[in-house]
Chains A and B, each alone.
Chain A
Amino acid sequence: MRRLSLISVPYLWLLALFLVPFLIVLKISLSDTALAIPPYTPTLDLSQGWAGLAQWWAGLDMENFWFLAEDNLYWKAYLSSLKIAVTSTLLTLLVGYPIAYGMTRAPDEWRPTLMMLVILPFWTSFLIRVYAWKAILSQEGLLNQLLMNIGLISEPLIILNTNLAVYIGIVYTYLPFMVLPIFAALDRLDGSLLEAAEDLGCSRLTAFWLVTMPLSKQGIIAGSFLVFIPAMGEFVIPALLGGSKTLMIGKVLWEEFFSNRDWPVASAVAVILLLLLIIPIVLFQRNEEKQREAEG
């Protein structure tokens, strides 16, 4: 039940709140682009009654999806997004797990402060924070100045406008989504289990691997999904921190929509993205249910 509630938030969000907009987008993706307002045909004209409906229905086709399948730019963008999302999820996990672990180990009076520090960044606008990273990572930025001043490097590092900057941005932005579920899982862990493991002959490290890790698995899975899902469709971070070579489907979508004003193709891109995201969530749910059944 707890596990379910951990992940049911994004799940319900996607299903209920996105369902209506999704149907609209789905419809546009089946339309053709047109020089009109809105920039696609057909539009449903209910004043003509049944005939209008039939005409509208006949105007819908899968053409845009075939187009996406043929042009390998889109496939590359999807794959590249997937790669970036998976990598940054793993990186976030690597950074987030020790933070969450440290929080549960901290003295009680420190906990609210640490929790505050994790949540604090949300109090400023996401855009401003990403811009701040520009200032940090650019060639004349704070990081390079610092490293050059202490003499570690003589030439400025080129970080901004590379994939590395995108990873940094994603890890930074989504870290709380990873930390909080893992923290919740670790916090529930009964300390006497570790004592029992030690009593039975485990070193601290083995006790961590055999007890702490498996018992925080659900938090890890929930956190990974909370990072992976938004990272997959991320647009702002690659647009601001990434370079021209950074290929992410969110960016492609934005360009189709605003630069090309090709709403139907942009919608088709969005529909496929959404399908790609729903598949892992459903698989995850299935897995959870199976596990629950196995546990009785």
Chain B
Amino acid sequence: MAETAPISADFAPWEAPDAKPIIQFKNVTKRFGDFTAIDDLTIDIFPQEFFSLLGPSGCGKTTMMRMLAGFESPTEGTILLDGQDIAPVPPNKRAVNMMFQSYALFPHLSVSDNIAFGLKRDGLSKDKIADRVEEMLKLVQLSQFASRKPHQISGGQRQRVALARSLAKAPKLLLLDEPLGALDKKLRQETQFELMDIQEKTGTTFVIVTHDQEEAMTVSSRVAVMDHGKIIQVATPQQIYEEPNSVYVADFIGDVNIIRGTAKRADGDHVHITFAADHAPLIAATKRDIAEGSEVALAIRPEKIAISTEKPEDRNNAIQGKVLDIAYLGNISTYHVELPGGAVVKAQTANTRRVHRRSFTWDDSVWLSWTDTAGAVLVE
């Protein structure tokens, strides 16, 4: 097997003009009756990507996977795998394996027979199958349950069997529909690293559905945030977090403060956002072309807002407010601060000091401040 490049900082085939995508959705629409589950979706996914689909329940993630696996066909548009239209290829002829959201383990077969199922279809020798099953069982830490039936193991164990079964054939493209949802945090993190490891070793392309943002952030080369059958933004985890393209994405990923106001052009790539009549406008840097007087939203992460008793002089934006609530989360504290207009803004600080020496408490008047580059200016 050729050396494969692990996901690294410079792994960005989606930016290379000559990179060949492994999957191409071209204006794909999927309707169930008159309900549109996937709405005119176009996306390229590249070899060796770890591509995450993120979105609220019912937004069409599973439907996308099922079209790739061959269980649904697009109502309109085409899906290409390695440049070939896959519409006429039946599921058993696609170099794709899927881990089902419902696991779909065969109840009449033992754990190891479930894992061996796909290998047997390939006509491998008995020894090879046994070795591979053994390897998979070790990977998902289920060796001692090899001879159990699916109903004799726990939900999390079942999930791992399903994962092992889909990994066993080492396909070119792996579709994992919420592969780790039922696992506890520690096991989930371990398995995430295993998956990344497999990805690095085999160069398999992963498309994975997850409800866990942290997971998407940790493992993905790119994240697609979906809503109502559309992809709202596709970008690297960092871009999704730092430069969301819409309030929807900003709001969906992590905690965010949305401050709405009217934009006024200022020098260079700065805008002034007037959010309250009696307050100086906020200053924010943006590369976007913002029309004079348009309604904008400033999305700013709580950890980018500093909180202090004195007005800081070194930051472009400073607002005075009153502490409404303090959420102590161990390593960090979140302060809910009410602004003059009545809006509530969250600010986060790391708890480097012990709590009883905390400098602010309820009803204290505090200053919130941030720099011009801390937030993202979004147009709706």
Residues of A with Cβ closer than 8 Å to B?
190, 192-193, 195-203, 206, 210-211, 214-215, 295-296
Contacts and interface: CB of A to CB of B under 8 A. Distances in A.
A211 B92 contact: no
A190 B104 contact: yes
Nearest to A294: B149
A10 to B, nearest CB: 25
Nearest to A214: B108
Nearest to A192: B104
Contacts of B90: 198
B75 interface: no
Given A197-B117, A202-B121, 14 more contacts: A192-B102, A192-B104, A193-B104, A195-B71, A198-B70, A199-B98, A200-B118, A200-B121, A201-B118, A201-B122, A201-B169, A203-B92, A215-B108, A296-B149
Contacts of B238: none
Q: Which 4 A-B pairs have the closest CB atoms?
A: A201-B121, A200-B118, A196-B104, A192-B104
Contacts of B106: 193, 196-197, 211
Best-surrounded residue of B96, B104, B105, B169 (most CB of chain A within 10 A) = B104
28 contacts: A190-B102, A190-B104, A192-B102, A193-B107, A195-B69, A195-B71, A195-B100, A196-B100, A196-B104, A196-B165, A197-B117, A198-B70, A198-B91, A199-B69, A199-B96, A199-B97, A200-B117, A200-B118, A201-B92, A202-B92, A202-B121, A203-B92, A214-B108, A215-B107, A295-B149, A295-B151, A295-B152, A296-B149
Contacts of A198: 70, 90-92
Contacts of A214: 108
Contacts of A200: 92, 97, 117-118, 121, 165, 169
A206 B70 CA distance: 17
A192 B96 CA distance: 16
Nearest to A196: B104
Contacts of A196: 98, 100, 104-106, 165
B107 A206 contact: no
Contacts of A206: 121
A206 B169 CA distance: 18
Contacts of A215: 107-108
A223 B102 CA distance: 30
Interface in B93-136: 96-98, 100, 102, 104-108, 117-118, 121-122
Nearest to A191: B104
A277 B85 CA distance: 60
Contacts of B96: 199
A195 B69 CA distance: 9
B235 to A, nearest CB: 30
Contacts of A192: 100, 102, 104
A109 to B, nearest CB: 14
A201 B121 CA distance: 6
Contacts of B152: 295-296
Contacts of B165: 196, 200
Contacts of B97: 199-200
Contacts of B69: 195, 199
Contacts of B108: 214-215
Contacts of A203: 92
Given A200-B121, A200-B169, A195 B91 contact: yes
A160 B164 CA distance: 60
Nearest to B96: A199
Interface in B74-92: 90-92
Contacts of B122: 201
A295 to B, nearest CB: 6
Contacts of B121: 200-202, 206
A267 to B, nearest CB: 44
B105 to A, nearest CB: 8
Contacts of A295: 149, 151-152
A196 B107 CA distance: 12
A251 B121 CA distance: 52
A196 B117 CA distance: 10
Nearest to B165: A200
B165 to A, nearest CB: 7
Nearest to B94: A199
B142 to A, nearest CB: 16
A200 B100 CA distance: 12
Contacts of A210: 117
B172 to A, nearest CB: 14
Given A200-B169, A201-B92, A195 B151 contact: no
A192 B99 CA distance: 11
A231 to B, nearest CB: 29
A200 B113 CA distance: 13
A198 B69 CA distance: 10
B107 A199 contact: no
